[in-house]
Amino acid sequence: MGVNGDASFVANNGLHHEVFKVLLDADEKTGITAITGLDLGANIGVYYHVRTSKSFFTIKAEVPKENPRLKTLIDIHPGALFHELEVADLMGAVFEGNELKGHFVLSENWPEGVYPLRKDVDLSQVKFVSTPEHETNKSAEGREVKIIIGPQHPALLEPEKFSVTVDGETVTKVEPRIGYVHRGIEKSTESHTYLQNTYLVERVCGICNPCHAYSFVGTVEKILKLDIPERAQYLRVIALELNRLHSHLLVLGHAGLEIGYETVFQYFWRDREPIMDLIELTSGNRVYGSLMTVGGVRRDISQDHIPKIKSVIESLRGKLPFYRKIYNDEPTLRLRMKDVGTLSREDALRLSVIGPIARASGVDIDVRKDRPYAVYGEIPFKEIVYTDGDTWARMNVRMDEVEESLNILDYVLDHMPTGPIRIEAPRSVPPGEAVCTIEAPRGELLYYVRSNGTDIPERVKIRTPTFANIPSFLKTAIGESIADVPSNFVSLDPCFSCTDR
Amino acid sequence: MAQKTEKKQKSRISPIFKRAIAHLFTKPATTKYPSAKPVLPPDTRGRLIYEIKDCNAIDFGSGPDFRLDIKVMRGSTCHVCERDCPAAAIKIVEVDGKQRPQIDLNKCIFCCQCVETCPRGAIKQTDLYELAATDKESLIMKPKYTQKDASP
């Protein structure tokens, strides 16, 4: 049983470490996309989803459930840190050299030794332990002071905690604690049908919901070996690019809000509104499109709507030079963003950073170019790469991508073929497994689905972009002023609902 | 030359000035919502309506566009809307000795999968979006609802 469309091989007894080292030496762009923990009965499967410059494959390791120990990868690739901790917390695998203390995703009052993603766990029997004492702002030894940002903090719109240790005004250490919005969606998918899961996975993230739906139906279609009609693929690209537009406009404005430049925020959000109207026009709802379904899309775009979409694209394109000028020339923005949170190319590669953050540091990874999905292979567009690596470059990557998205939309609307938008798909999925990666607005999004022949999946693994990008913040915040933390952080376009799932 | 520098200076202050003046005469970006209702695009997914006369468990399976590959016996209760609802908002309850769906709008996520699934077209979507209520009970659509009852 192989992972459909992508190669996979078994590497037991610590071989995964050797294999990954060879790959890393051969190709500098090798990175860990995700680590999936699987309950295989007597064994625990630890699947390393690895990307290189042009390929994507899975290294499968299995360890016995009684003694689920295997070698960590953080000694050769620090980007594996978060992925390993997550598998350790939810599946109970032990990574030698990267042991988990307490919990990583689960809440503090979750008992030790109960791993919710294992099949044999009886969740009704779980006895919560008492919550340990809360951390407070306090002086560490000597001159250093610990400042807790979050879970409730004006700079973070969603709950997540970062304990920042400062010496004077300089940040010396950042300790993250994620999991405040962990809703157990991965576990929940194991008790819903594929059809219901299409809507459930959209709820992982409000902003990039079509990306989640597309990835999920993409994996299921790979297992079913369905041939999706071309018009449906074009309609999906429209949904994904409208989503990228609104997400990028959102963060470009939100960055202005974080640094106290509210005019920028108001302007960007004003111009984001017509995009939201287009999403409503094409999908039937402002936020949750619910457009994707296994076998195609649920609704077509009528010919009468195309002029309206085009006029919105044109008006937004006309406004872009003004915004570009603001981000380039405005002294306030430059002061708060230039040379803030600089991430070097080497660090970006080492930390497996993805999406606009990697592209701002000179790493040219974009799933749309590297491993084209839907009809991205036919569409001409530029891959935006900046080399500065700072907050300003990250924002400008997004600014340029807004323009590229507008070009893609123009191309797609002009070249859309006619034909069916949907084919019949069975509700039960034959046994198999598949991986689908796509370029969400925040970076590479991975879905792994394992089916067992029924209409309910056996395991759905979701690896969201922010989860992979948070380590870059932990690196870049150190040595900079505490006042730069918000603008540095918002340049990741963090989405914690995504991160925690 | 002097004229030129004056022109240049003028253009340096003008962006803000021009914008401020222009905004005096342009329409605001916001809408006056309760008094002016937005024009919704066609087929916006809003509140569901349910026509009890169309829901017929007895004749199940005779619909022309019945595309489901499930094994259902003729004459048995349909239940597909209940089975497919991702939010468990639809529950089958007994009304006058017949089993009928009851839609809980408190739980409904407005995906309209039930509209797609229903083999008889008994559940329809509308673009009604003003669903605020002070009583949760009033948002549970009891099966006695007809189209006439559901419209505001």
Q: Which residues of A touch B67 (CB under 8 A)?
A: 424
Model confidence at B40: pLDDT above 50: yes
Q: Token digits for A93?
A: 């695998």
Interface of chain B toward chain A, CB-CB under 8 angstroms:
29, 40-41, 43-45, 67-70, 83-87, 109-113, 116
Identify the bridge partners of residue A422 per DSSP, sorted by sequence position. A296
Amino acid at A125: Q
Closest to A461 in 3D by CA, of A448, A444, A445: A448
The answer as to whether B16 is a domain residue is: no
Q: What confidence category does residue B12 fall into, taking pLDDT thresholds of 50, 70 and 90?
A: low
**A3-121 matches A185-468 in fold:** no
Axis-axis angle for helices A306-329, A230-258 (nearest 10): 30
d(CA A343, CA A335) in angstroms, rounded, equals: 17
Residue of A nearest to B125 (CA): A284
Domain count, chain B: 1
Q: Which helix (H) or strand (E) holds A188?
A: helix A185-189
Q: Chain A: give the shortest CA distance to residue B61, in Å.
A: 17
Q: What is the pLDDT of residues A317-334, one digit of tens each?
A: 988 888 888 888 878 788
Q: Which residues of B touch A268 (CB under 8 A)?
A: none
Domain at B97, CATH number: 3.30.70
CB contacts < 8 A (A, B) = 48
Closest to A106 in 3D by CA, of A121, A117, A98: A117
Give the contacts of A370 (CB within 8 A, at least 6 positions apart). A51, A53, A54
Answer whether A453's CB lies under 8 Å from A401's CB: no
Question: What pLDDT, on a 0 to 100 scale, did the predictor assign at position B53?
Answer: 65
Give the contacts of A155 (CB within 8 A, at least 6 positions apart). A149, A258, A485, A486, A489, A490
Assigned CATH class of A185-468: mainly alpha
How is chain A split into domains, by residue range?
A: 3-121, 185-468
Q: For residue B45, give the nearest of A270, A285, A428 by CB distance.
A: A285
Interface of chain A toward chain B, CB-CB under 8 angstroms:
192-193, 195-200, 203, 270, 273, 277, 280-281, 284-285, 288, 290, 298-299, 424, 426-428
CA A376 to chain centre: 19
The answer as to whether B60 is a domain residue is: yes
Q: For residue B113, give the nearest of A195, A273, A424 by CB distance.
A: A195
Answer whether A429's CB lies under 8 Å from A222's CB: no
Coil vs helix vs strand at A174: strand
Q: For residue A199, give the nearest of B44, B68, B111 by CB distance.
A: B111
Q: Which domain holds residue B129?
A: 48-150
Question: What is the pLDDT tens value at each position of chain A, 501 positions in all?
Answer: 345 556 777 777 777 788 888 888 888 888 888 888 888 888 888 888 888 887 888 888 888 888 888 888 888 888 888 888 888 888 888 888 887 777 888 888 888 878 888 888 877 777 777 776 666 656 556 677 888 887 777 767 778 888 888 888 888 888 888 888 888 888 888 888 888 899 989 888 888 889 999 999 999 998 888 888 888 999 999 999 999 999 999 988 888 888 888 888 888 888 888 999 889 888 888 888 888 888 888 888 888 888 989 999 999 998 888 888 888 887 878 888 888 888 888 888 888 888 898 988 888 888 888 888 888 888 888 888 888 888 888 888 999 999 999 999 989 988 888 888 888 888 888 888 888 889 889 888 899 998 888 888 888 999 888 888 888 888 888 888 888 888 888 888 888 888 888
Answer whether A217's CB lies under 8 Å from A292's CB: yes
Q: What is the DSSP code (8-state) at residue B43?
A: T
Question: What pLDDT, on a 0 to 100 scale, did the predictor assign at position B73?
Answer: 41
Model confidence at B70: pLDDT above 60: no
Q: Chain B: give the shortest CA distance to residue A124, in Å.
A: 20
DSSP A376-430: TTTS--PPP--SS-SHHHHHHHHHHHHHHHHHHHHHHHHHPPPS-SB----SS--
The answer as to whether B34 is a domain residue is: no
Q: For residue B86, give the nearest of A200, A273, A281 by CB distance.
A: A200
CATH 3.30.465.10 fits A3-121, yes or no: no
Q: For residue B45, give the nearest of A197, A284, A428 by CB distance.
A: A284
Q: Which residues of A touch B43 (CB under 8 A)?
A: 284, 299
Of the residues B11, B33, B39, B44, the best mutation for testing chain A's interface (the one with the most A CB atoms within 10 Å of its CB) is: B44
Q: Does this model's pTM top 0.95? A: no
d(CA A265, CA A45) in angstroms, rounded, equals: 46
d(CA A444, CA A269) in angstroms, rounded, equals: 25
Coil vs helix vs strand at A166: strand
Q: Chain B: give the shortest CA distance to residue A125, in Å.
A: 24
Give the contacts of B64 (CB within 8 A, at least 6 positions apart). none
d(CA A26, CA A32) in angstroms, rounded, equals: 15
The answer as to whether B118 is a domain residue is: yes
Answer whether A32's CB lies under 8 Å from A73's CB: yes
Q: For residue A281, give the nearest of B29, B41, B87 by CB distance.
A: B41
**B24-29: long-range contacts (C-beta < 8 A, 24 or more apart)?**
B29/A270, B29/A273
Q: Which residues of B touch A424 (CB under 8 A)?
A: 67
- Cα–Cα distances (Å) from B140 to A35, B50, B55, B98, in that order, read 43, 12, 18, 19
Q: Chain B: give the shortest CA distance to residue A436, in Å.
A: 22
The answer as to whether B37 is a domain residue is: no
SS3 assignment for A76-109:
CCHHHHHHHHHHHHHHCCEEECCCCCCCCCCCCC
The answer as to whether B38 is a domain residue is: no
Give φ, ψ of A15 to 5 degrees: -65, -25
Q: What is the pLDDT of residues A142-197, one digit of tens each?
A: 677 888 887 777 767 778 888 888 888 888 888 888 888 888 888 888 888 888 89
Coil vs helix vs strand at A222: helix
d(CA A245, CA A219) in angstroms, rounded, equals: 24
The answer as to whether B109 is a domain residue is: yes
